[in-house]
């Protein structure tokens, strides 16, 4: 509160100073010092501060007997003993219980509720927008060092004080096992917040390199005029923290509609930012019906940007809506969306078949196949098929599935009934012969009596355009197509054209020429391309993430490219010496 008061006073004195008239219009006239001297003393910046060097958050491995395993198990027990939690909307720092509630169940035990959350109605969303716009001048005026410090502090709070709590919420609410929660809710989120401070510093330091005599040129990276809206998906706690964190670090204010199936961990993320010093109103936490929140935010003239991660059809629909409203807005809204995938592993005949099979099992089935980057189609040359299949089937069969509290479980269940029904529909059609050219090689059972559980499943397709080679299922199903080993280039071209998506791809080959040919032919088939590695597991600071085509705007979360979308630069030229006439030398008579 105190910090907000100070910032508000800075912002308003700044505005007063800008508006105060000069005593005389002519250049060179004396300006009384007092008119200006009171405007800026509250924010002396007596140094060019250097944001601390950042590194990836070290990851614990949760091996049996490790202290981190015990601490995480304790956090799970504690969370289970306290749930269900009640989650309010938070607008202008105030917790608001609207009494219009929904539950977030455990996906692997859907009769048990993790949290009950209050949905915002139209009036509350409008109040959130108004409050955010009021908070904006002070937030934007806060010196960058202080904005960065808030995010660095949040990252440290997350990595230390709240690590196991946020991980436990991610495990119970979103169905992740310990390792998947570690790489998401602890490591990736801390990395996003820390690395972004570095990227923002880099952006701010990009300044004009030339100055004509008697002038000074500068570039100011203004926040967008208005407010930004962020809609987050259920599958990564870190993504929600970055969807709001990136624009806000650059001086924007943000209306955050978290996913109903990732709600409790999102709430904890908001609370951490608040504890780190984020002023009230800068992020407005408004769970709510998607249509209600969209109607209120997308119809507002100050709607300045949309930061989305989720499915392709939702993003396309929302983009269209923004287009239809274009005459409503003060500016052209920035639209950034990372969306679906139909990610492939492509093996050349020189590939290490066992390595590729193991990586396929990890990529296709870790987090129950619910990573946007999960491998869901594989092209295997016939010379490697027997070896690859033997390993793939054996490894798939030994996967243990069940509640996340049992650390020996590699998988749990998919997120909700809608997802379960969709995947079950595809698998039933294959099992009953309704889908031509496809059969189930291993897995295929679906059971939603306790959790929304789908067995890890491998489909064998005899048509490279079979339905499950094309559509995103977003669950633990991978489809394999066996191609003639000597038709590598032909099948690279088919793979490139098979799906509308272009998110991630793993190319497996020992032969360097095959690596070069594959990389070239699949240049536009993926925004994240891996050679002899799986299609999942991008790390902030190492592999900036995002895809093209129907997979998104490819603004690369976890990079300066993304942060640049949240600023509207102003070029400033200052002249130091008055001119003395209008004519240029070229106007003079010979």
Ligand X SMILES: N[C@@H](CCC=O)C(=O)O
Ligand Y SMILES: NC(=O)c1ccc[n+]([C@@H]2O[C@H](COP(=O)([O-])OP(=O)(O)OC[C@H]3O[C@@H](n4cnc5c(N)ncnc54)[C@H](O)[C@@H]3O)[C@@H](O)[C@H]2O)c1
User: Does residue 372 carry a catalytic annotation?
Assistant: yes
- Least Å distance, CB 56 to ligand X, is 13
- Per the CB < 8 A criterion, the answer to whether 401 and 455 are in contact is yes
**Contact between residue 300 and residue 129 where contact means Cβ atoms under 8 Å apart:** yes
Minimum distance from CB of 502 to ligand Y (Å)? 10
Map the footprint of ligand Y across residues 351-380, applying CB under 6 A: 372
Residue 265 to residue 280: CA distance in whole angstroms: 20
50, containing H or E segment: none
User: Degrees (nearest 5) of the Cα angle 169, 175, 176?
Assistant: 80
Which residue of the set 372, 375, 446, 505 is catalytic? 372
Nearer to ligand Y, 170 or 551 (CB): 551
Query: If contact means CB under 5 to 8 A according to the sort of partner, which of ligand X, ligand Y, none does residue 170 touch?
Result: none
Measuring CA to CA, how many Å separate 51 from each of 195, 310, 555? 10, 32, 24
Least Å from the CB of residue 119 to ligand Y: 11
Cβ atoms of 308 and 230 closer than 8 Å: yes
241 makes contact, choosing from ligand Y, ligand X, none, with CB < 5 to 8 Å by partner type, with none
Alpha carbon distance 119, 103 (integer Å): 11
CB of 446 to ligand Y, least distance (A): 18
Asked if 552 interacts with ligand Y (CB under 6 A), we say: yes
Q: Is the peptide bond before 88 cis (omega within 30 degrees of 0)?
A: no
Does the footprint of ligand Y cover residue 474 (CB under 6 A)? yes
- Contact residue for ligand Y among 127, 163, 176, 257 (CB under 6 A): 257
Positions in 275-294 near ligand Y (CB under 6 A): 290, 294
- Pick the piece of the chain touching ligand Y (CB under 6 A) from 63-71, 309-317, 348-356, 516-524: 309-317
Non-local CB neighbours of 268 within 8 Å, separated by 6+ positions: 162, 165, 166, 169
From 145-153, 334-342, 439-447, 513-521, span contacting ligand Y (CB under 6 A):
334-342
DSSP 371: S
For residue 251, give the nearest of 571, 585, 567 by alpha carbon: 567
Q: Which of 237, 242, 396, 551 binds ligand Y (CB under 6 A)?
A: 551
CB of 276 to ligand Y, least distance (A): 23
Q: How many residues bind to ligand Y according to rule CB under 6 A?
A: 28
Task: Read off the tokens for 454.
Answer: 């789908």
Question: Would you say the C-alpha torsion 543, 545, 551, 554 has a positive or negative sign?
Answer: negative
Give min distance, CB of 229 to ligand Y, in A.
Answer: 10
Binding site residues, ligand X, CB under 6 A: 235-236, 371-373, 536-538, 545
544 binds, among ligand X, ligand Y, none (CB under 5 to 8 A by kind): none
**Tokens (6 digits) for 491:** 């099948």
Vertex 456: Cα angle to 453 and 460 (nearest 5): 135
> Is 309 an interacting residue with respect to ligand Y (CB under 6 A)?
yes
Q: Is 234 in the site for ligand Y (CB under 6 A)?
A: yes
CB of 239 to ligand X, least distance (A): 7
Which residues touch 226 (CB under 8 Å, ≥6 apart)?
A: 133, 300, 301, 302, 303, 304, 305, 329, 330, 331
Instruction: Specify the residue, 248 or 503, whose C-beta has the smaller distance to ligand X.
Output: 503
* Interface segment toward ligand Y; rule CB under 6 A; list 130-138, 193-201, 529-537, 544-552: 544-552
Catalytic residue among 338, 366, 455, 472: 338
Give 103's DSSP letter: E
Q: Which is nearer to ligand Y, 227 or 545 (CB)?
A: 545
Could you say which DSSP state residue 401 is in?
Answer: B
Could you tell me the smallest distance in angstroms from the CB atom of residue 542 to ligand Y?
16
Residue range at the interface with ligand Y (CB under 6 A); choices 231-239, 247-255, 298-306, 347-355: 231-239
CA nearest neighbour of 374 among 543, 535, 556: 535
**For ligand Y, which residue of 73, 311, 331, 543 counts as binding (CB under 6 A)?**
311
- Pairing type for strands 85-87 and 109-118 reads parallel
Instruction: Compare residues 307 and 348 and give the one whose CB is closer to ligand Y.
Output: 307
Shortest-Cβ-distance residue relative to ligand Y? 310
Pairwise CA distance, residues 520 & 532, whole Å = 15
Question: Should residue 310 be labelled a site residue for ligand Y when binding is judged by CB under 6 A?
Answer: yes
Q: How far apart are CA 430 and CA 417, in angstroms?
A: 20
Which residue has the closest beta carbon to ligand X? 538
For the chain, counts of helices (H) and of strands (E): 19, 23
Q: Where are the alpha helices (DSSP H) in 338-466?
A: 353-365, 385-397, 417-431
Task: List contacts with ligand Y (CB under 6 A).
Answer: 231-236, 239, 257, 259, 290, 294, 309-311, 314, 318, 338-341, 372, 472, 474, 503, 545, 547, 551-552
Q: Which residues are catalytic?
A: 338, 372
């Amino acid at each position: 509160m105190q910090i907000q008061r100070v910032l508000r006073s800075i912002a308003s004195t700044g505005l007063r100073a800008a508006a105060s008239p000069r005593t005389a219009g002519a250049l060179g006239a004396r300006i009384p010092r007092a008119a200006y001297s009171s405007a800026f003393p509250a924010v002396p910046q007596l140094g060019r501060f250097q944001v601390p060097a950042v590194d990836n958050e070290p990851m614990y491995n949760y091996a049996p007997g490790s202290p981190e395993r015990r601490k995480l198990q304790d956090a799970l027990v504690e969370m289970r003993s306290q749930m269900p939690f009640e989650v309010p909307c938070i607008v202008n720092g105030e917790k608001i219980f609207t009494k219009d509630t929904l539950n977030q169940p455990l996906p692997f035990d859907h009769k048990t509720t993790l949290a009950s959350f209050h949905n915002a109605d139209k009036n509350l969303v409008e109040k959130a927008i108004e409050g955010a716009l009021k908070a904006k001048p002070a937030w934007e005026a806060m010196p960058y060092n202080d904005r960065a410090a808030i995010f660095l502090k949040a990252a440290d709070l997350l990595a230390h004080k709240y690590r196991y709590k946020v991980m436990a919420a991610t495990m119970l609410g979103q169905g992740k096992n310990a390792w998947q929660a570690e790489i998401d809710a602890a490591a990736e989120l801390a990395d996003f917040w820390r690395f972004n401070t570095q990227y923002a510093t880099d952006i701010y330091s990009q300044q004009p390199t030339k100055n004509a005599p008697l002038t000074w040129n500068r570039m100011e990276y203004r926040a967008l005029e208005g407010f930004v809206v962020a809609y987050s998906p259920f599958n990564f706690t870190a993504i929600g923290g970055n969807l709001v964190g990136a624009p806000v670090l650059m001086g924007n204010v943000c209306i955050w509609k978290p996913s109903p199936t990732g709600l409790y961990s999102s709430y904890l993320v908001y609370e951490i930012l608040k504890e780190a010093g984020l002023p009230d109103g800068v992020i407005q936490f408004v769970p709510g019906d998607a249509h209600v929140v969209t109607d209120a935010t997308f119809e507002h003239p100050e709607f300045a940007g949309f930061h989305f991660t989720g499915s392709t059809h939702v993003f396309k629909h929302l983009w269209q809506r923004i287009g239809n409203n274009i005459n409503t807005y003060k500016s052209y809204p920035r639209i950034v969306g990372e969306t679906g995938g139909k990610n492939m592993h492509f093996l050349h005949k020189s590939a290490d078949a066992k390595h590729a099979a193991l990586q396929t099992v990890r990529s296709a089935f870790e987090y129950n196949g619910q990573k946007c980057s999960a491998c869901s189609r594989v092209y295997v040359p016939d010379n490697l098929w027997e070896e690859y299949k033997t390993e793939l089937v054996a490894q798939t069969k030994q996967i243990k599935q069940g509640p996340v509290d049992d650390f020996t479980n590699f998988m749990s269940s998919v997120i909700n009934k809608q997802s379960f029904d969709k995947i079950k529909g595809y698998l039933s059609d294959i099992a009953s012969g309704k889908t031509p050219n496809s059969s189930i090689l291993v897995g295929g059972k679906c059971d939603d009596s306790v959790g929304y559980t789908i067995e890890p499943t491998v489909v064998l397709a005899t048509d490279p355009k079979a339905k499950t080679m094309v559509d995103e299922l977003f669950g633990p199903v991978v489809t394999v197509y066996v191609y003639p080993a000597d038709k590598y280039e032909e099948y690279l071209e088919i793979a490139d054209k098979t799906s509308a998506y272009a998110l991630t791809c793993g190319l497996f080959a020992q032969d360097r020429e095959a690596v070069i040919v594959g990389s070239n032919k699949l240049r536009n088939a993926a925004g994240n391309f891996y050679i002899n590695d799986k299609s999942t597991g991008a790390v902030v600071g190492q592999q900036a993430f995002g895809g093209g085509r129907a997979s998104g705007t490819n603004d690369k979360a976890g990079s300066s490219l993304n942060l640049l979308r949240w600023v509207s630069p102003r070029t400033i030229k200052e002249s130091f010496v008055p001119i003395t006439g209008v004519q240029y030398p070229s106007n003079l008579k010979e």
